Structure 1
Amino acid sequence: MLPQVYKKRQENKIEIEKLEAKVNRLQRDFDNGRYTSQYDYDDEWSPLKPIIFPCRTSHTRLFPKKHSFSYSYLYVGIPVGWRGWVSSLLTADLKTLPWRGRKPKNGWFNVDSADHLARGDSMHGLRGKLDTYLESQNEKVEDYPDAYLVTAPRFFGYSFNPVSFWYLYNRRKELKAMILEVNNTFDERRMYFLKDTDPNNGASGDEIENLATGKVDQNGDQGQHSPNQKQLERFTNSWSKDFHVSPFNSRKGAYSLSANDPFFPHLSTRAGVARVNNTITLSSSKQHPKLVARVYSSSDSIDPYKLKGFGTFKFIAAWWWVGFVTLPRILREAAKLFFRRKLHVWFKPEVLEDSIGRNETDDEKAIAAIFRDYLRTLVTSSDLPFALQFLPGIATMSVEETFMPHALREKPNTQQCAVTFKITSPLFYARISRCTSIPKHIKVNLSKPDPGTATFHTSHPDLLAKLFEESPSVSNLFKIWPWGKAALIDKYAALLDASPLAPIPLPNRLRWVLINILRHLPSPSHPYTLSDLDACAVHLPSTDAPKVRAYRKAVLKMLLSDYVAFGMPAAIDAAFWIVKVWLCWVCVQSFDGLVGLCNGHGQLTVIEVGKVVMGFLGVHIWWGLGQAL
């Protein structure tokens, strides 16, 4: 009995020493800023590690015209949850680490969680965003304890990443699900959560053990795999196409995926073994294969921990340019399809509810801030028995926000349902900034839904329409005199003085007048009114003056672009910069005349005098151009 007790104590002592050593090592790494206490990645205990995958990608179009191309591509693999760096070569999510000292700079190649899944950053990095996404798909996070991301990294902050692959493993370390994260050239994104549909992929433990111990041949990187191994390591799935990727394909059809597990079996990461080999086939609505896209390892994978000194320099010199030429390569092939193959170009529809729209502009962000205040006021002042869950579709705003009517706050048991109001495209804000009545705009879009042009979606269209129908338009408070023969200022006198708040400065009043003129030109039958958003902005307290100023400037730019820039606000910004550059040139030229005048050489002409005056006033004019709107 005593020998057994002694043996047990010794085993416990050894186990405690191992745990103490692990805690000390993790504390040391934490102090150095390599790991964080949540979602730790431990290269001793985890079977996964960062890997570099030199690859090639190929596209083969089968009809209506045959076309194919192939070029080199670079992927890196990141264990989901790892946050740190490999020397100066590869980094991941450094900004999410709790730095105690100076934060190091990103490496040559960097993976940022803000570029993946939902828009915006996450304090928990890739693992936190993955868990949130799995919950949105009604999946249990604990079913996928190991996950691996294969993606194109950023180089010097730039990356164009058409597709990323997430490999999700169960507790038996078997590949049971994947996430395909697809980005198009219009800055839109769609995630597809896929579960393995191959019935032969549920291998027994003995079969996997035989493969792991070498009883089944695994030397066939060039097609020498045994049939059993091919079945066990292959992941397959099919799904309907609902995302606009190429202008030469409609949004109809279906995709199918055939992907190999790069770490089969048991998440093996032996040097050179891990490989990427994924094939996506696009079929037409008549089930005919139309396009085959493939990405595969062109050579053995590279362990970044083993690249030192000259090896790191050699790798960077060989691969730094690949990310920069991805988009130009795509545009080159698109030009061939359009000019040589004469393929039909499909109009780009707006994204569907399950997709993510493009990133917003600064102008759309400013309008969205006022719209959220307007919507909050609209809901909280209503008597309807439901709450509104608002998803703004803006990366820098809250992912979702719930507005509660006062009736529900007083009688919470009267709530029947929560209505979801999701903005899927920032274009929504550009559109409502141009209309006078938001309820009318919402009602028209709900009465004639068009998936190709819809910029918002709702779970209960009838209830959302009821909310806007029963809420009075706030712009009715700001009706002003109809068209008359009075002077311009008299026409808009009521508009300028209708606000019960403190008097508005004259420059701002004139800006509101200009907005009203540009939104709809005056007519005898249409009284002048502020739009719903304008009225909401006017009613905001003085503490929100910067937000109101940004909104007013954005709306003016939107409306002005409709008249002089084909509805493109970016052209207005470009025009301002051109004027500023010209102003700089005038200022520089004026100094020549000023020097000549000071030296007494000749006399200045009227034009030269004007240049000198412009030179002295150049700084003020520069500032004035920025404040004009």
Structure 2
Amino acid sequence: MAFIKEIFYCVTLLGVQSGGLRFWAKAIVIFTGSAMLIATLALAGLLLWVLVDSRRLISNSHSPSNIMGRPMLFPVTLTHTRVSPVKNQFSHRVLLVGIPIGFRGRIGPFLSIDQDSPAMSRIASLKRLFAWFSFDPVRYLQRGDNEHGLRDKLDLFLRSQNKDPAHWPYAYLMSVPRFLWWERNVVSFWYLYSASQELDAMIMEINNSFDEKRNVLFRLQPEFETPMAKFDFAREPKYLDQQKTVLSLPSLPSARFYKGIWEKHIFASPFEKVEGSISTRFMDPLQASSFNPTDSIANIVSVGLAGESKMVTRISCREPPVDPVNVTTAHLVKSILRWTVPGTLTTPRILFQALKIQYVQSLMKMMNRPVIQPGSVARHPTSIERSLESFWRAFLSRCVESSPESLELTYIPAASISNEHVCILSPPSGTGSPATVKRLTVEVVDPGFYTRVTNYADLWEGILHEQQQKGNCADATSRPLVVSDLQLLRTVIFSFQKRLPPLPREFGLTLPNLLAWCRGSRSEMDSFVLSSTAPSHHPSYAECVLRITLMCRFAMNSASLLWIYGVLARWMLLGPNEVYIEITHSGICGTDEHFVKSTQVLGHEGIGIIKLLGSNVTTVKVGDRVGFGYVRKAGINIAGALGSTVNVILTSVPSAMAQSGMSVAYFLFPTATYPKMRRPCFVLVPQSGTA
């Protein structure tokens, strides 16, 4: 992402300096044509590599392991049939890939499985990056546990559901893999097998179009009413690799179909309310020899509150599953060309069908997205929401720590930010009887709560508003904040706020006044942060509030649009003899000692990286590390000011006047000569500098 931003900086700066629409027209045509040509040649080269290179199965582990099944390609057809309240049907083709959980390795450059590990070599990481299909653990189950593999993430999820992973020692995942750098997966199926090697449970990992997901675990029961097929029970375990470390075990089903049911708690379709249940029926994917083109390997039925069927999704395998290791090159080429492109069109196809149902056929009307229910995983949080979450956590901690009652508060952050449950105990709870300890649970469901809570002038009124049911048409019970005991939370918060010293009323450009100006009024969260947290955290909080204000007023709540505004503003301010520097380090010298305990950490000297250059600047280039001083005509010895670990080429640096008390992450300097750093350095404050 940083590389793309750098290109955006350079191209736009050239456009501004060249002037006129002719430059942009030529740039767009050249860029589009070049990108299409490069992409076509790269895909052709990669496809040739996939076909020519060996497709042997290679394991990353040298220790023996037992798994269920083997990697397989399942060319399936999804048929969606709506039967109530209106009738509608459409179908599309998708390539599902099945992988055994517990195996980490690859099949040549064609398929990479669970290889996202920090311990990988550069060559192995490059092969994984350019694999035609890949399964990365970061995409599956809970978010945030990126350091774990698929098996570890599965075990963590099962424990979070109060289940013992030992009940299901084997698992098999069927999902749409990532194609190069493209990924879009509506649902993934985790088949869980018991120690007796029979299909026993299922996890359906559902991803809606709003970047939300829900992982549903449910048990499966054999359906003995259907006639048994001829299963291959005689198939012996088989080693999949040449080193004989990966042993594939066969499944031992007792029925042809397995059925299960679960309650619906996710807004999976814009035409379906969050109510009712989902009835399912599956075949064992490891018994591919029993597949019939007329059978459904999976049936998923949406059932209403009255028991009526509303929508049926049928997954059928019209062609035999493909073994990528033993398949012929011609068959593999046919499968790649026929099934790769339809998979990339999943999102446009879903959007087209939704618009067709509402605007062309006028059958149904799409509903607004409700807040997710507890247990679901919200959209990916923004950087602002991630930063502000720590302040809300600190607020709850201080409230409990100052409580005179025996209290145990369990704080559950938004699942897309953290999967941990934070237990906070008040001081009296450690001395009394466990039976007398009051218990309180506070769960944040929507990550947007962290930005909204900073804007409430009355914090308790804001909490009341956030925990109220929103009455959404799709889900009338949804709420951004879930509190187990509202009255107890009120008592705890009010008890802490009585002890919280009020912020002094001051005139001028102070941080409390700046925050109040941003939103038009003072906020109780501002009072807490500025009076009860470390001064080093105040600039981060102020930056978040300022960015929220700018997004609301000028950027339609879009962080990306705000970033574009910032880039354009920088170019408008950049003169021909100026450079634009990103501050990476700031030092503290003797004249700053009296500021150390205040709300600012002032550094008269700093180090940064040049991001933009004026048209007359020739002595440095974008990307150079430079040293600088903040005070006009200072002639600072930067090596002495920033410490003995800093290495510079010259002793004095040019400088510019900065307004006292202004927190900055970037700075403009009106000169074209800057000292370059000899090598990376380490200074006292490795953060955004302040002036």
| Letter aligned with residue 465 of structure 1 | R
Aligned to 1:391: 412
Kept after mapping to 1: 8 A contact 2:469/2:477 = no
Q: Following superposition of structure 1 onto structure 2, how do residues 47-446 of structure 1 map, counting pairs within 5 Å?
A: 47-96=68-117, 98-99=119-120, 103-105=124-126, 106=128, 107-198=131-222, 200=224, 212=233, 232-264=255-287, 277-307=297-327, 315-342=335-362, 343-393=364-414, 395=416, 397=418, 399-411=420-432, 413=434, 416-446=437-467
Asked whether the 8 Å contact 2:58–2:107 carries over to 1, the reply is: no
Q: Given that residues 371 and 533 in structure 1 are in contact (C-alpha distance below 8 angstroms), is that contact kept between their aligned partners in structure 2?
A: no
* 1:72-94: CA deviation from partner (whole Å, max 9, x where unpaired): 11111111121111111111221
Query: Unpaired segments of 5 or more residues in structure 1?
Result: 1-31, 215-228, 481-491, 497-505, 522-528, 589-612
Q: How many residues align?
A: 513
SS at match of 1:402: strand
SS at match of 1:436: coil
Gaps of at least 5 residues in structure 2 are 1-56, 236-251, 578-612, 623-655, 657-663, 669-687
User: Which residue of the partner structure matches residue 531 of structure 1?
Assistant: 524
Contact 1:65 1:341 in 2 (8 A): no
Offset at residue 384 of structure 1 (A): 2.7
* Mapped contact 2:229–2:256 kept (Cα < 8 A): no
2: distance between equivalents of 1:298 and 1:256?
23
TM-score, structure 2 length as denominator?
A: 0.65
Task: State the distance in 2 between where 1:628 and 1:567 align.
Answer: 27
Write the deviation string for residues 414-445 of structure 1: whole angstroms up to 9, x where unpaired.
76254332221111112112213333322444
Matched residue, 1:6: none
Do the aligned partners of residues 69 and 365 (structure 1) sit closer, same or farther apart at CA in structure 2, a change above 3 Å counting? same
Instruction: Please say if residues 301 and 313 of structure 2, whose CA atoms lie closer than 8 Å, have aligned partners that are also in contact.
Output: yes
Contact 1:272–1:301 (Cα < 8 Å) also in 2:
no
Q: Which amino acid aligns with 1:289?
A: S
**Distance across 2 between alignment mates of 1:130 and 1:67:** 36
Taking only aligned residues, the RMSD between alpha carbons, in angstroms, comes to 4.0
Call closer, same or farther: CA 1:557–1:474 in 2, change over 3 Å.
Answer: farther
Counterpart in the other structure of 2:545: 555
Whether 1:469 and 2:511 are equivalent positions in the alignment is no
The 3-state SS of whatever aligns with 1:68 is: strand
Deviation, structure 1 residue 338: 1.7
Instruction: Give the residue type in structure 2 aligned to 1:290.
Output: K
1:457 equivalent in structure 2:
482
1:182 shift after superposition? 0.7
**Aligned equivalents of 2:562, 2:499: Cα separation in 1:** 30
In structure 1, what is the Cα distance between the partners aligned to 2:216 and 2:325? 32
Corresponding residue for residue 519 of structure 1: 519
- TM-score, normalising length from structure 1? 0.71
The one-letter code matched in structure 2 to 1:111 is F
- For 2:211, the aligned partner's letter is D
Partners of 1:386 and 1:425 lie apart in 2 by 25
> 1:390 aligns to what SS in structure 2?
strand
Q: In the TM superposition, what is the alpha-carbon distance from 1:361 to its structure 2 partner?
A: 0.8
Partner of 2:16: none
Q: Equivalent residue of 1:131, what SS?
A: helix
Q: Is the 8 A contact 2:222 2:258 kept in 1?
A: yes
- SS for the counterpart of 1:294 is strand
Bigger share in helix: 1
Secondary structure of 2:106's counterpart equals strand
Question: C-alpha offsets along residues 316-336 of structure 1, whole Å, 9 cap, x if unaligned?
Answer: 444433332111111111110
1:184 deviation in Å? 0.4
Q: How far does the alpha carbon of each residue in 1:353-401 deviate from its partner, in whole angstroms, 9 at most, with x for none?
A: 1211111011111111222222222222222312222221254546222
Aligned equivalents of 1:436 and 1:93: distance in 2? 48
- Seen in structure 2, the aligned counterparts of structure 1 residues 317 and 403 have a Cα distance that, compared at 3 Å, is same
**Aligned CA distance change for structure 1 residues 87 and 307 (closer, same or farther; 3 Å):** farther
1:474 and 1:121, CA in 2 relative to 1: closer, same or farther beyond 3 A? same
Inter-partner Cα distance in structure 2 for 1:200 and 1:286: 27
Q: Secondary structure of 2:345's match?
A: helix
Q: Is the 8 A contact 2:212 2:379 kept in 1?
A: yes
8 Å CA contact 2:229–2:290 kept in 1: the answer is no
Could you tell me the percent identity over the aligned residues? 24
CA deviation after TM superposition for structure 1 residue 314, in Å: 5.5
Deviation at 1:411, TM superposition (A): 4.7
